[in-house]
Structure 1
Amino acid sequence: MDLKRLIGKAKRTAEDTLDKRGGKDALKEDFRELKDIAAGEGSVKDKAKRAADAVKEPGTTKH
């Protein structure tokens, strides 16, 4: 497999994954949610748990 083909396959896989998670807008919302979790109150353990839960459900906001 040549490099061009490998890059193309990686790009298609990334695009498919992004689409399955709700698209660019959902990704932006997920990022904002993770940023809020990191800046919020609580222990690192609690923040990690909330962040993991947030990533499991793409495109939804839970505060």
Structure 2
Amino acid sequence: MNPLWLMRMAKWAHHPPSLRQVKIGAAVLAAVLAIWGLEAAGLWPDWATLERQPRVPRL
């Protein structure tokens, strides 16, 4: 495990995030899971899906 993560966890233990930050994080996570669920169920619209363009080789 990266030591920077240990430092971040120690910081969060000593100074936990505010309730507002937790609510924002939960809302973002819920939105991501909702989008993923719609896409997995086949309900995501085609106009919102990106299509990869073929890569042009550089000369």
Q: Normalising to structure 1: TM-score of the pair?
A: 0.37
Report the structure number with the largest CA radius of gyration.
Answer: 2
Tell me: higher relative CO, structure 1 or 2? Use CA pairs within 8 A at least 6 residues apart.
1
